[in-house]
């Protein structure tokens, strides 16, 4: 008889479930494909349950496959799709749940799924632009750090050992280089441990609300990074708000949900304040004018024009496109700006090492 496969124990099942729930990642493209295919099937006349069943069989990602199966079970029990999706906020953020809920209320599920698909694609495109622009500087910096460690740990100790036998006093640059090399060789592991602890401590501190707010406020004032952060948050704000308003979601709820997609705490808290002020009957443009440092006049003026003409969504869409292009251009320029800075830093480091090595040789040749 063929040997039966061993069944996992209860503990192994719990561990596998925990890993699947907490450590397994659902790629954005998988979620985009899920929503896009769901929209296509519903538009073709399939019932929502049948569409979810087919997608559950097609999806390759194990975590998303499991979630879709649970969504199908929930819909079969009579729950609304938006109610089930709200149970998985890490996979389906509140913005998408609200857009689908609005579509269900208006009886326009196909339109809602289409809007969610478009919003996902635009958000993914914006994030890809940012990550793509940061990739080159990050690779260069990591390479520089790796080369510097290799030089200090493996090359310089063998090169500088001959200078330690000099009777004459070594030049200051050479003494500094010998000190750095000896310190790194003798206490390198301790340095690495301290650096790791400091990084963990900084990450822990930044997660504290008060510290996070101070850091994010300081980031907005940085010379080069500050304008980039503002444009990224403005692009996400206008893109999200325009999509939510097009889904007929009330502007008060739309402003609150939009705050959830913003990475900067200052923008997030400002939008929550905007949401509360909107309840008092104030216009969006008038409220945003109270935050001139983070919402420039162009944003408030265009929104005001949209409010007066009844085309707020169109104005927000134009702003989203403008700031999306601005982010793209700025990030490309950022790469161009940072490249000579990196080359200059690398050149200074190489020049410093060369001077520290050559100076004692020159002094020795003068005394002979």
pLDDT digits (tens, 9 = 90+) for 89-120: 888 888 888 888 888 887 888 888 888 888 88
Q: How far is CA 207 from CA 104, 189, 269, in A?
A: 37, 27, 15
What whole-number distance in Å separates Cα of residue 125 and Cα of residue 21? 26
What whole-number distance in Å separates Cα of residue 73 and Cα of residue 84? 9
Q: How far is CA 106 from CA 82, 100, 103, 172, 285, in A?
A: 13, 10, 5, 77, 28
What are the structure tokens assigned to 212, written together?
Answer: 């996070």
Quote the pLDDT of residue 365.
64
Instruction: Name all domains of the chain by residue range, CATH numbers in brackets.
Output: 16-92 (no CATH), 121-368 (1.20.81.30)
pTM exceeds 0.75, yes or no: no
pLDDT tens for the chain, residues 1 to 368: 445 545 555 554 555 554 445 445 788 888 888 888 888 998 888 888 899 999 888 888 888 888 899 999 999 988 898 899 989 888 888 888 888 888 888 788 888 888 888 888 888 887 787 777 777 777 877 887 888 777 777 777 777 777 666 666 777 887 888 888 888 878 878 888 998 999 999 989 888 888 999 999 998 998 878 888 898 889 888 888 888 888 788 888 888 888 888 888 999 999 999 988 998 888 899 999 999 989 999 999 999 999 888 888 889 889 988 988 888 787 777 767 777 877 888 788 888 877 877 777 776 666 55
pLDDT digits (tens, 9 = 90+) for 1-29: 445 545 555 554 555 554 445 445 788 88
For residues 104 and 80, the answer to whether their CB atoms sit within 8 Å is: yes
Closest CA to 30 of 117, 135, 131: 117
Quote the pLDDT of residue 207.
86
Which residues have a Cβ under 8 Å from the Cβ of 56 and sit 6 or more positions away? 65, 68, 69, 72
What whole-number distance in Å separates Cα of residue 52 and Cα of residue 117? 16
Dihedrals phi, psi of 172, to nearest 5 degrees: -55, -45
For residues 257 and 249, the answer to whether their CB atoms sit within 8 Å is: yes
């Amino acid at each position: 008889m063929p040997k039966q496969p061993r069944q996992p124990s209860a503990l192994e099942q719990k561990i596998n479930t925990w890993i699947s729930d907490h450590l397994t990642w659902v790629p954005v493209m998988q979620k985009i494909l899920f929503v896009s295919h769901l929209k296509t099937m519903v538009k073709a006349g399939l019932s929502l349950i049948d569409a979810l069943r087919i997608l559950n069989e097609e999806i390759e990602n194990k975590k998303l496959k499991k979630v879709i199966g649970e969504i199908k079970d929930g819909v079969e029990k009579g729950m609304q799709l938006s109610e089930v999706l709200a149970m998985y906020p890490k996979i389906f953020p509140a913005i998408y749940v609200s857009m689908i809920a609005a579509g269900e209320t208006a009886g326009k599920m196909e339109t809602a799924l289409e809007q969610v698909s478009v919003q996902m694609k635009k958000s993914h495109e914006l994030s890809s632009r940012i990550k793509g622009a940061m990739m080159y500087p990050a690779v260069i910096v990591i390479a520089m750090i790796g080369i510097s460690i290799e030089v200090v740990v493996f090359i310089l100790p063998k090169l500088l050992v001959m200078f330690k036998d000099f009777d004459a006093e070594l030049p200051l640059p050479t003494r500094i280089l010998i000190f750095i090399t000896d310190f790194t060789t003798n206490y390198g592991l301790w340095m690495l441990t301290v650096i790791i602890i400091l990084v963990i401590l900084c990450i822990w501190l930044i997660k504290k609300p008060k510290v996070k707010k101070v850091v994010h406020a300081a980031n907005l004032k940085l010379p080069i990074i500050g304008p980039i952060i503002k444009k990224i948050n403005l692009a996400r704000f206008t893109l999200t708000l325009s999509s939510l308003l097009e889904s007929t979601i009330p502007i008060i709820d739309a402003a609150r949900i939009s705050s959830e997609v913003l990475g900067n705490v200052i923008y997030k808290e400002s939008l929550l304040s905007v949401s509360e002020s909107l309840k008092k009957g104030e216009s969006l443009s008038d409220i945003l004018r109270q935050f001139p440092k983070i919402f420039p006049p162009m944003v408030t003026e265009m929104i005001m024009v949209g409010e007066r003409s009844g085309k707020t969504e169109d104005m927000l869409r134009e702003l989203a496109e403008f700031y999306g292009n601005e982010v793209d251009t700025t990030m490309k320029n950022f790469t161009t700006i940072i490249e000579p800075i990196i080359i200059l830093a690398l050149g200074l480091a190489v020049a410093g090492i060369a001077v520290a090595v050559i100076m004692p040789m020159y002094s020795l040749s003068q005394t002979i």
